[in-house]
């Protein structure tokens, strides 16, 4: 605990306990990628990963958010740390969260053949499957790294079929907040003990997330004629370790109740077949709008981007 952060924590605790309860008309699933942990720089893996895992799970439990964590089992490694890293995944299960498959080594499907990508999927859920035994039966979920779902129609359809044949559903997202960009500057700032910069990054990150949420709330009615349950995509990193509690407070103040991925996937909007082919990884709200031929007027300037100074910190890495 850094002394400099204590006054802020007290303010946050006060803010969360005094937050007014609003009607919970909105729903959101929280999906968290790149388990067990995203390391920036050459810091010791396990202590930092343990800290991030504990803080993220504490925030999820506090807000009764039934999240799913998408694992890259290649990151479990073969070093002396391996058992400790598997123990981190076990903590997710103990906290009543789900695990999903995010491939073995987080490759870019744009650069792989269908067969290579299938191997990555097959290898990607061996340890997790053992850990999830107590949850049988459960729905298997897959998330493509960088949400690159296939840069050609042939690749996209082949992997969709492979996944379906193996019992997987593809996991969409409707809100993305560039947390991986903010996290680089944030983790470096913590390592340099520059707590003023860390605080500035946290503030910008939280504001951007709320802006991205507002954008998704405006876009959904243009595609479906109504707001839909949202799916937030974030990562296990230092930034979310320190921000997730406040982030969930702010989302709850917007009227969100946190629900499981199963629950949002049961919404009719999520039954829409995604037929959009892209080498990029856009939100499913965009994909569904393309698939439905919906006439939408997307003002992309309303979808916030990280500020230039945050991008500069990211590029310096």
Binding site for Zn ion (CB under 5 A): 33-34, 145
Q: With contact defined as beta carbons under 8 Å apart, do 85 and 46 qualify? A: yes
Residue 238 Cβ vs Zn ion, minimum distance, rounded to whole Å: 16
Residue 145 Cβ vs Zn ion, minimum distance, rounded to whole Å: 5
Residue 236 Cβ vs Zn ion, minimum distance, rounded to whole Å: 10
Residue 314 Cβ vs Zn ion, minimum distance, rounded to whole Å: 16
Residue 33 Cβ vs Zn ion, minimum distance, rounded to whole Å: 4
In the bound state with Zn ion, the residue whose beta carbon lies nearer, of 105 and 152, is: 105
Q: Is 59 exposed, middle or buried (0-12, 13-18, 19+ CB in 10 A)?
A: buried
Task: Report the alpha-carbon distance of residue 303 to residue 71 in Å, rounded.
Answer: 28
Burial letters 148-186, b for 16+ CB under 10 A, else e: bbbbeeebbebbbebbeeeebbbbbbbbbbbbbbbbbbb
Residue 32 Cβ vs Zn ion, minimum distance, rounded to whole Å: 10
In the bound state with Zn ion, the residue whose beta carbon lies nearer, of 34 and 242, is: 34
In the bound state with Zn ion, the residue whose beta carbon lies nearer, of 34 and 303, is: 34
In the bound state with Zn ion, the residue whose beta carbon lies nearer, of 33 and 246, is: 33
- Closest by CA to 300, choosing from 316, 313, 289, is 289
In the bound state with Zn ion, the residue whose beta carbon lies nearer, of 66 and 145, is: 145
In the bound state with Zn ion, the residue whose beta carbon lies nearer, of 186 and 224, is: 186
């Amino acid at each position: 605990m850094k002394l400099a952060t204590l006054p802020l924590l007290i303010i946050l605790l006060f803010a969360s306990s005094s937050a007014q309860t609003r009607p919970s008309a909105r729903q959101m699933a929280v999906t968290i990628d790149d388990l067990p942990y995203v390391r920036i720089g050459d810091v010791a893996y396990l202590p930092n990963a343990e800290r991030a895992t504990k803080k993220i799970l504490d925030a999820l439990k506090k807000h009764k958010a039934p999240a799913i964590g998408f694992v890259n089992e290649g990151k479990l490694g073969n070093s002396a740390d391996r058992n400790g890293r598997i123990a981190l995944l076990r903590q997710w299960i103990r906290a009543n969260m789900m695990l999903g498959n995010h491939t073995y080594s987080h490759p870019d499907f744009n650069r792989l053949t269908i067969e290579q990508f299938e191997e990555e999927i097959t290898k990607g859920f061996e340890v997790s499957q053992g850990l999830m035994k107590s949850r049988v039966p459960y729905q298997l979920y897959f998330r493509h790294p960088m949400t690159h779902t296939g840069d050609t129609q042939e690749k996209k359809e082949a992997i969709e079929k492979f996944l379906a044949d193996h019992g997987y559903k593809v996991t969409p997202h409707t809100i993305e907040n560039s947390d991986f960009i903010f996290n680089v500057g944030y983790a470096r700032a913590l390592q340099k003990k520059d707590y003023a910069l860390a605080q500035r990054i946290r503030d910008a990150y939280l504001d951007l997330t709320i802006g991205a949420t507002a954008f998704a709330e405006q876009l959904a009615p243009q595609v479906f004629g109504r707001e839909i349950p949202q799916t937030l995509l974030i990562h296990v990193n230092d930034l979310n370790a320190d921000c997730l509690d406040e982030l969930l407070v702010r989302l709850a103040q917007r009227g969100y109740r946190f629900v499981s991925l199963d629950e949002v996937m049961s919404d009719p909007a999520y039954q829409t077949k995604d037929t959009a082919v892209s080498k990029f990884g856009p939100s499913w709200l965009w994909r569904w709008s393309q698939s439905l031929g919906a006439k939408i007027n997307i003002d992309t300037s309303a979808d916030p981007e990280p500020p230039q100074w945050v991008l500069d910190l990211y590029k310096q890495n």
